[in-house]
A = this chain, B = another copy of it.
Amino acid sequence: MTSDPRPSQDPQMSDASGTESDPTANAEGSARSGFSRRRLIASAAVAGGAGAVGSLAGFGVGRASHKQVDEQPRRDTQGANGAVAEPFYGEHQAGVETMPQAHGEFLAFTLKPGSTADDVKRWLRLLTDDAAALTQGVAPLADSEPELANDPARLTVTFGFGPGLVRTAGAAKVPSWLGPLEKFTIDRLDPKRSRGDLLIQICGDDPIGVNHARRMLWKDSRAFAEVAWQRTGFRRSYGSKGEGKTQRNLFGQIDGTASPGPGSEDFTRLVWGRASGRKDPVFSSRGEPPSDLGANLPDWLQGGTTLVLRDIAMNLETWDEADRPGREFAIGRTLDNGAPLTGTSEFDDPDFKAVDKRGLTVISSASHVARSRDGLGPEAQIHRRPYNYETGPGGEAGLLFASFQADIERQFLPIQRRLAEFDLLNIWTVPIASTVWAIPRGVKQGEYVGQALFEG
């Protein structure tokens, strides 16, 4: 048993997905993962082994919009999606506008004391290379279990920067919003879980691939940083429902109805904002005027966005003691199909003025939907991409509430302030961790995630 932590790479040509024998795989420039593994391995080898950063830049993966891929994921005749790859290279990082996958991992790191900008750049180059390979079903060079990378199943790896990391590139570059949120009276935050310099969000439809990616990215981080905290969540699996269906949380509640749909104009306006680089003003789908959401994103975040990640503990025990009408009153929607109490289907607009026979509003002004929507302007919308967790019977349960928005101050905080002030759902929920992240733009081949931060 020799001891070599970087075993020689095995071409894995026996596995069919994504190799030349795959009839759906195109030559270079394919919008999907149809590139030759043989070519990849060859070019990686030429580039000089594991120490050579940027060594995966030699192969051609075209830049497709996520939308393009979501509409036509490559599946085999059994409906399998193991071979489906989300594009890694592109204007934006994947894992934000990507249709949410079944499994989500959130892994936060703290930089080792004394880390320099060069240290961070080397780390980000390594992680970028790892993510570029793993998401395409290819084992990174130092992968000691390369076969576990074979089936990406829509794996995405998304990086977020905390203030400590940004500071290594120059103190002037830390935006004012990048730090702890203001204190809310409902919060009971664990400081150990409310910190971190780098966040890696790993999502995929296959738990083996997600687990493998987490291990690989963690191993390549150990020289640079310590794990600050880690959390694992789940949603409906691939194949359980048609894609795009709104998820249910562990209260049984349909969760995320008002979130802008991936690929929509609203999404661009609300999540990528000004930083989308669009020259035309973007009107909302309701005809609202163009906004300058994201105007406070610094230049190095052009093409990026922000993430507020909150761990909301949910008391399933006391929720189970509430009856169904009481729960629906608290939410302002039916549990059955998520329709507002004034409507019949999930996407009906709530009518906050409708009254019942007694003259009371059908949707209580104290309900979750009223508190989070009524009276707030069109800017106060966020893209929710939450994951559920329950550690065991009687264990911890809750929601990893991931909220993406161009502007935390104008989109997230107005909603959060109102919910913290009063929301019937607060009876059963407690925020126990909270972090804010800058999500850099996507990368081109040869670049590393966050490069603009270190070059600007």
Residues of chain A at the chain B interface (Cβ within 8 Å): 1-5, 7-8, 10, 12, 14-15, 75-76, 78-82, 102-103, 107, 144-148, 151, 153, 205-209, 211, 214-215, 218-219, 227, 230, 232, 234-243, 248, 250-252, 316, 319-324, 326, 330, 335-337, 388, 390, 392-394, 427
Contacts and interface: CB of A to CB of B under 8 A. Distances in A.
A323 B393 contact: no
A180 to B, nearest CB: 24
A239 B145 CA distance: 21
A252 B145 contact: yes
Given A393-B214, A393-B230, A241 B151 contact: yes
B239 A10 contact: no
A393 B147 contact: no
- Copy count, this protein chain: 2
Contact of A239 (B4, B236, B238, B335): B238
B243 A78 contact: yes
Contact of A236 (B145, B151, B242, B243): B151
Given A208-B234, A208-B248, A218-B394, A153 B322 contact: no
A41 to B, nearest CB: 13
Contact of A153 (B75, B239, B427): B239
A81 B239 contact: yes
B80 A241 contact: yes
B80 A240 contact: yes
B240 A206 contact: yes
Given A12-B336, A393-B214, A393-B230, A321 B4 contact: yes
A248 B4 contact: no
B14 A239 contact: no
A335 B147 contact: yes
Nearest to A215: B393
B79 A240 contact: no
B151 A240 contact: yes
